[in-house]
């Protein structure tokens, strides 16, 4: 019964998000039809019928009521049709998202998982062995965590790309020597080009995981069950992992789930600095061009990812933490 209530809640949240997804782009100033007509006019004369055709194509027909547009929008979503992108005209939105999403998932997703795992381990050690060298890392990582994202990315580009020439200035891979595909040349080129963006994410976010886990470890070590375990003579390693770290990591798991949900959104600033071909870059171009269809498609993918990640963790939390089940009952 509790699972059913949660599913209903998330379905309602999805419906509200989809409705807002339809309304917000239409409240913004500008018109995608005018923008595309302006682009076509640069190439030559545009026929008067073109405006009408584009309005029907983008679902922005001013003669149709807003309610009818909303119904058509829901019907298109149900059939998997997210429209045509103005920015990448005449490419469908599904194709644009499908080509950008793997780059973001591979870079931001993998980096987030690695940063969370390393942050949890270092935070556990820092909380368990306070005053050691691991604990002394926390002030420096916290300072790096507070630096502006774009500033850190620009510093790394200047030091490691412009000055040292070790890494490329930007891009997802070497377009001159490799083509996308399952080959060692392409994978190696993608890893090489993705190193600096990944390093930016790790440096700017690992401090929060370490500090959060360290503080929870310090709080957990004063709990009665930890003191009882020590009194029973259990090994320090078992007490640290089984009794302290296991309970201290619970709040961080919720934050990790939210982070995974937002992985799909990518990092707009990082992808702009490094000219990385991910979702964040596509998002910014969609906003600049009033690309309603692409914005709605990206919002929808991000919303589903965030709600899905939260639902999974919400359900798993009951099995991980018995106290949650007891309160629910």
Rounded CA separation 289/321 (Å): 47
SS3 172: coil
Rounded CA separation 1/6 (Å): 9
pTM reported for the whole predicted model: 0.73
SS3 151: helix
Measure CA of the first residue to CA of the last residue in the chain; give whole Å.
Answer: 11
Which overall architecture, per CATH, does domain 93-325 show?
Orthogonal Bundle (1.10)
Domain residue ranges of the chain, discontinuous segments joined by +: 1-79, 93-325
pLDDT value for 165: 83
- Per-residue model confidence as pLDDT tens for the chain (329 residues): 667 787 888 889 888 888 888 887 677 666 666 666 666 666 666 666 666 666 666 666 666 777 887 888 888 888 877 878 877 877 888 888 888 888 888 888 888 888 888 888 988 888 888 878 777 878 888 888 777 777 888 888 888 888 888 888 877 888 787 777 778 888 888 888 888 888 888 888 888 888 888 888 888 888 888 888 888 888 888 888 888 888 888 778 777 777 776 666 656 777 778 888 888 888 888 877 777 778 888 888 888 888 887 888 777 777 766 666 655 55
The Cβ of residue 262 has, within 10 Å, a number of other Cβ atoms equal to 15
Rounded CA separation 104/274 (Å): 13
pLDDT value for 239: 87
Rounded CA separation 194/204 (Å): 16
């Amino acid at each position: 019964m509790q699972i059913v209530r949660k599913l209903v809640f998330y379905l309602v949240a999805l419906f509200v998000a989809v409705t807002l997804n339809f309304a917000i782009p239409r409240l913004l100033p500008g018109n995608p039809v005018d923008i595309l007509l302006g682009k076509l006019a640069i190439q030559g004369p545009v026929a008067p019928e073109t405006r009408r055709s584009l309005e029907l194509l983008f679902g922005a027909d001013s003669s149709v009521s807003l309610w009818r547009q909303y119904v058509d929008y829901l019907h298109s979503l149900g059939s998997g049709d997210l429209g045509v992108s103005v920015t990448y005209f005449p490419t469908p939105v599904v194709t644009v998202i499908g080509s950008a999403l793997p780059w973001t998932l591979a870079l931001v997703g993998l980096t987030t998982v690695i940063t969370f795992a390393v942050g949890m381990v270092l935070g556990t050690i820092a909380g368990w062995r306070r005053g050691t060298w691991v604990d002394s890392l926390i002030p420096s990582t916290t300072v790096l965590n507070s630096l502006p994202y774009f500033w850190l990315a620009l510093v790394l580009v200047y030091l490691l790309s412009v000055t040292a020439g070790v890494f490329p200035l930007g891009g997802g891979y070497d377009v001159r020597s490799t083509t996308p595909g399952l080959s060692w040349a392409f994978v190696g080129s993608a890893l090489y080009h993705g190193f600096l963006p990944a390093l930016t994410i790790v440096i700017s976010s690992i401090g929060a995981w370490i500090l959060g886990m360290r503080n929870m470890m310090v709080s957990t070590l004063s709990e009665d069950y930890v003191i009882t375990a020590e009194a029973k003579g259990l090994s320090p390693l078992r007490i640290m992992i089984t009794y302290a770290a296991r309970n201290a990591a619970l709040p961080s798991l919720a934050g990790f789930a939210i982070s995974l949900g937002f992985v799909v959104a990518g990092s707009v600033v990082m992808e702009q600095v490094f000219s990385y071909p991910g979702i964040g870059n596509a998002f910014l171009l969609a906003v600049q061009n009033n690309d309603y269809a692409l914005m709605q498609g990206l919002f929808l993918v991000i919303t589903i990812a965030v709600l899905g990640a939260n639902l999974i963790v919400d359900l798993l939390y009951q099995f991980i933490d018995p106290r949650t089940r007891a309160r629910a009952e």
